[in-house]
A and B are shown apart, each in its own frame.
Chain A
Amino acid sequence: MTLTLSNLSKTYPGRHGGSVQAVRNLNLTMEKGEIVALLGSSGCGKTSTLRMIAGFESVSEGGITLAGRRIETLTPDRRRVAMAFEGYALYPPLTIEENIGFGLATRGLDRAEAARRVREMAEMLEIGPILKGRPAGLSGGQQQRASLARALARDADLHLLDEPMGQLEPQLRSVLRGRVKAALKSRGLTAVLVTHDQTEANAMADRIAVMEAGVLQQYGPPSELRDRPANLLVATFLGEPPMNALAATVDPAGLHLDDVAEDVLALPGVPMPRAGAKIVLGVRPHRLQLGAGALRGQVISNQWLGDQAHVVLALGPRILVAVAHRRVAVRVGETIPFGFAPDHAHLFDADSGRALAHGMVAA
């Protein structure tokens, strides 16, 4: 166990008295060499968590153990962590080369080795040509890569990466994701990645911690989050477009979709809650099959996005999105049959949002 967060909480004083709890009772452990992504929308507490680990924010309650040391009361310079900043935070008067090498010099690494590291990082992140430049003259993407290089050049017990690729071109981003992950893995480094980009989290992380409103919603490998979301929040947060959610009532024979004058929907093979229970049925857009099935919806729009079709359907007062990977020949206004395999159904409690059951091949 390299990093352990135990009952970690952060409370900020509110502007007008009272207080705001940014992080609540967060428990999370990481193995050495693991990459964990903290994923969530802005204000979910992921950045506060990162800043508490780095030592920029005091810990209101709970503890942080890193490599066998309690660090929550140590000053940042003694925590042995490295960090890439969302706002780059490069030293304005230094060149990019000096910026990347700065922490190495402080840590007493010998000159030749430090220079070799700087070159290696610059090559990996494709900033070789700008090493002699100063931050003010560079684009956001270049500064961001310099900030990432500065963090990765360091040896540390833990590397904190705060939205490290947000400013990069999409193509470069996907190339660098792979390279950065490979570099972390080959050196056996442990890293916490804070991001709101689920593609980045899926591509880079061994495990993802989804946070919302300061509370950890689910922590597990990407496949588990996709196939067995712990609650409706995780289910609708992950995946693009988001999972369709339909209010329903459990019937002895299956599900009755609320506000929809349809027959009972049978879901053989899905463990059902007790009859009468109020639930939410979740189905991912690309699992909806158009043209055949037990449901009938009116087409609201049909868009071809170049590699996939998004068809929006009205089912009574509910709106659903279906994704197909070829063009779909349906017209707006048409009412078409559609359905989904019970294997892909997710059932959530209507009140708490907690997952009740997942189909066999849920995602």
Chain B
Amino acid sequence: MPRISAILRGIALAAVLLFFLFPIFWIFLMSFQTNETILQIPPSLAFEPTLINYTSLISGHLQTAAGSLDLPFMHNLFNSVLLSAVSVAVSLVLGVPAAYAFARFRFRLGEDIAFTLLSFRFAPPLLVLLPLSLYFKDLGLANTYAGIIWVYQLICLPLILWIVRGYFEDASPDVEYAYRIDGHSWWRAFTRIAIPLAGPGIAAAGLLAFIFAWNNFVFALILASADKQPVTVGALAFVTASGIQYGQIAAAIVLSILPTLALALYAQRWLVEGLSLGAVKG
């Protein structure tokens, strides 16, 4: 009986993995093909790999049937990295102390403020975009990195605040108290004890916020023009007058996965360390 369930489990896991990983595998293959081989029916695994998609993306010139086209993909990629990284950094600086306050102290309207911040997550972006874009024009924030990073706080800050708050709440404040009673200030207890203990949560929240910011489309579409656009918006350029450039899209996807993947691999170290945190109390 246990053997049958183990086999079924294996099959189910394999099916799920295949379901999620096959598209990525297929995109990876597509990125080494030209539009002609991609679009041939039936599709074939036997093709001559080409780096043309990558070279045209990196050099910034797209050769199509209709002629050469400038493609600011690498600049888009740089924008994505800049916008996401700075947004997450700002959110961490603002969100981690706020999360600590919400976790440790009960104050008037505390829950209401925390919930209001969370509610930014479930407001539909289109609802706020029209007034926001008008205000941003008046304030001179339209099409600036600062303006977009500000709007990205709607995505990152609630996420970080609520995830990290949970981690602070799970960690007993007693270790901080012990540290303070041993002769240290509140600030040192926060930076030396509370933040390291919540480290895995902060890493997880930061990573998640980075992915959400990276994947954002609609804010950047409305608020950023060409030179500030991230890859999500920049990818629209692949839909050209002479057709959709599937090969370049695939290569662009592979390239734009890389920074997030690298960050995830780096953050994994912190995420795994968190597993031993639960053993503090015997």
Contacts and interface: CB of A to CB of B under 8 A. Distances in A.
Contacts of B186: 75
Nearest to A107: B183
A77 B187 CA distance: 12
A353 B178 CA distance: 40
B175 A91 contact: yes
Interface in B170-199: 172-175, 177-186, 193, 197
B183 A106 contact: yes
Nearest to B277: A92
B281 A106 contact: no
Interface string A48-64: 00000011100000000
Nearest to A13: B106
Interface string B100-113: 00000010100000
26 contacts: A54-B177, A54-B181, A55-B181, A56-B177, A75-B180, A75-B186, A76-B177, A77-B184, A79-B181, A85-B178, A88-B281, A89-B172, A90-B175, A90-B178, A91-B178, A91-B179, A91-B193, A92-B280, A103-B183, A106-B183, A106-B184, A135-B282, A138-B282, A141-B282, A143-B282, A167-B282
Given A139-B282, A143-B282, A82 B277 contact: no
Main secondary structure of the interface of B (DSSP, over half): helix
B279 interface: yes
A135 B177 CA distance: 17
Given A75-B186, A143-B282, A136 B276 contact: yes
Interface string A86-99: 01111110000000
A76 B181 contact: yes
Nearest to A144: B282
Contacts of A106: 182-184
B224 to A, nearest CB: 44
Interface string A122-151: 000000000000011011111100000010
Nearest to B110: A13
Give the top 4 A-B pairs by smallest Cβ distance, nearest first.
Answer: A89-B174, A140-B282, A103-B182, A89-B178
A126 B155 CA distance: 53
A85 B177 contact: yes
A142 B279 CA distance: 14
Contacts of B276: 136
A102 interface: yes
A81 interface: yes
Interface residues of A, number: 34
Given A85-B177, A87-B281, A90-B178, 19 more contacts: A77-B180, A77-B181, A77-B184, A81-B181, A82-B181, A88-B281, A88-B282, A89-B177, A89-B178, A91-B175, A91-B193, A92-B175, A103-B181, A106-B182, A135-B280, A135-B282, A140-B281, A140-B282, A141-B282
A143 B197 CA distance: 18
A173 B276 CA distance: 29
B172 A87 contact: yes
Contacts of A75: 180, 185-186
A315 interface: no
Contacts of A139: 282
A240 B214 CA distance: 65
A248 B197 CA distance: 59
B280 A136 contact: yes
A83 interface: yes
A60 to B, nearest CB: 13
Nearest to B188: A77
B175 A89 contact: yes
Contacts of B108: 13
A323 to B, nearest CB: 36
Nearest to B278: A136
Interface in A65-118: 75-77, 79, 81-83, 85, 87-92, 102-103, 106-107
A204 B26 CA distance: 73
Contacts of B174: 85, 87-89
Contact of A77 (B185, B280, B282): B185
A18 to B, nearest CB: 13
Contacts of B197: 92
Contacts of B178: 83, 85, 89-91, 150
A205 B111 CA distance: 42
